[in-house]
Amino acid sequence: MPSKITTLDEFIIRRQKDFSYATGELTGLLRDIGVAAKIVNREVNRAGLVNILGAAGEENSHGEQVQKLDMYANDKLIECLQNSGECCGIASEENEDFIVMPTLESKNAKYVVLFDPLDGSSNIDVNISVGTIFSIYRRVSPLDGPCKLEDFLQKGVEQVAAGYIIYSTSTILVYSTGNGVNGFTLDPSIGEFCLSHRNIQIPKRGLDYSINQGYYSKFDLEMRRYIDHCSDENLRLRYIGSMVSDIHRILFIGGIFLYPNTRKYPQGKLRLLYECNPISYLVEQAGGKAINTLLQRILEIQPVELHQRATIVVGSPEMVDEMKAFIQKYSAVPN
Ligand code: P6P
């Protein structure tokens, strides 16, 4: 007897019934993101056909301008988030300032969404997996007017939902609304995200560490000592250069991902609001930990600007704790 398929829509609606206070707004938002993910997935899968479809900036056979995939993904997410009218504002890695949703209905909506529309997009040309990362907050500004910057500059602990879509051998949407983490695999034959990974729990430790070891000589002492320790422990270096892909592996088989400060990125490279916060929220919901190299919990950092960067050490709890001990032992900065 085939097991019952649970689609993303069914799951979201069922979960909404589990929480009496839940209203339809968040449900509508998550479904909008699911639709955008299907549209982006279609184009990401066609990316390899550039020679046929034309490269970004060129005209395709229909005389349409071919967009860079990250800009395409950005536009589709913005378009889809207007569908349910539940989002009053958007902040994107691709837009310098936040976007106030134009329709009157959306203006008074109570959620804001932040996203990296296509993280790791430089990998597309070489057919390596990439991802969309999203983060949802309840607005804090008055409901009777347009959203404000303060709605976006909230600590990660205030997120009401976060997740990512990984476009790889399968397209999988992983999200949490604060009650565990669940994964949904896109079944192209029915065009639905189907529940495939229920209640994801990150292993307490893993065999992999994930860092751009090419910067070894530019890391601080504590980071170099930790990398030496990983090597002494015969851990495997696994680094795809696409955060969503590295985190997806760590969620399932354990491990630790690190992007510390370097000379080029003294504050770290990854963005706090739409990379580190949503990823840290998910990993914590799955039983993992996420700190920066100053040992602050990522989700407790008070943002001061939309595109600010952060250092991050995230993954299996026992491995993050071990890394914390190296920072405490070797760091020149008192912790
Ligand atoms: P580096 C991709 O550009 C990205 O933002 C993340 O997805 C990835 O983890 C990181 O940057 C890779 O950076 O400096 O190692 O190439």
The answer to whether the CB of 164 falls within 8 A of the CB of 181 is no
Q: Which atom of ligand 1 is closest in space to residue 262's alpha carbon? A: 14
Residue that wins the pLDDT comparison between 213 and 83: 213
Structure tokens at 304: 């001061």
290: which residues sit within 8 A by CB, 6+ positions away?
Answer: 276, 279, 280, 283, 284, 297, 298, 299, 312, 313, 314, 320
| pLDDT tens readout for residues 219-228 | 999 999 999 9
Q: What is the number of the ligand 1 atom nearest to the C-alpha of 120?
A: 2
- 8-50: pLDDT as tens digits: 989 988 887 666 556 677 888 999 999 999 999 998 888 766 6
* Other C-beta atoms lying within 10 Å of the C-beta of residue 61: 8
What is the set of domains in the chain, with CATH numbers? 8-197 (3.30.540.10), 208-330 (3.40.190.80)
How much distance in Å is there from the Cα of 64 to the middle of ligand 1?
A: 31
CA of 241 to the centre of ligand 1 (A): 5
* Residue of 175, 179, 157, 177 whose CA lies nearest to 166: 175
What spacing in Å lies between the alpha carbon of 14 and ligand 1's midpoint? 36
Q: Is the CB of 129 under 6 A from ligand 1?
A: no
Atom of ligand 1 nearest to the CA of 119: 7
Is the per-residue pLDDT at 2 higher than 60? no
- The pTM score is 0.94
Q: Which of 70, 116, 119, 216 to mutate to test the pocket of ligand 1 (most atoms within 8 A of CB)?
A: 119
Q: 57: phi > 0 → left, psi -120 to 50 → alpha, else beta; which?
A: left
Q: Is the CB of 212 under 6 A from ligand 1?
A: yes
Contacts (Cβ under 8 Å, ≥6 apart) of 183: 172, 173, 174, 195, 196, 197, 198, 200
How remote is the CA of residue 165 from the centroid of ligand 1, in Å? 16
User: 225 C-alpha to center of ligand 1: Å?
Assistant: 22
Tell me the C-alpha distance between 201 and 198, whole Å.
Answer: 9
Sequence-distant (6+) residues with CB within 8 A of 235 are 207, 208, 209
> Residue 67 has what pLDDT?
64
**Ligand 1 contacts CB of residue 241 (under 6 A):** yes
Strand partners, 195: 184
pLDDT digit string, tens, across residues 153-174: 999 999 999 999 999 999 999 9
Interatomic CA distance for residues 83 and 106, integer angstroms: 9
139: CB partners within 8 A, 6+ apart: 88, 89, 109, 110, 111, 112, 147, 151
Contact 85 CB / ligand 1 (< 6 Å): no
Rounded Cα distance between 262 and 81, Å, is 36
Residue among 243, 257, 272, 307 whose CB has most ligand 1 atoms within 8 A, to mutate: 243
Residue 236 above 60 pLDDT?
Answer: yes
Determine the pLDDT at residue 126: 83
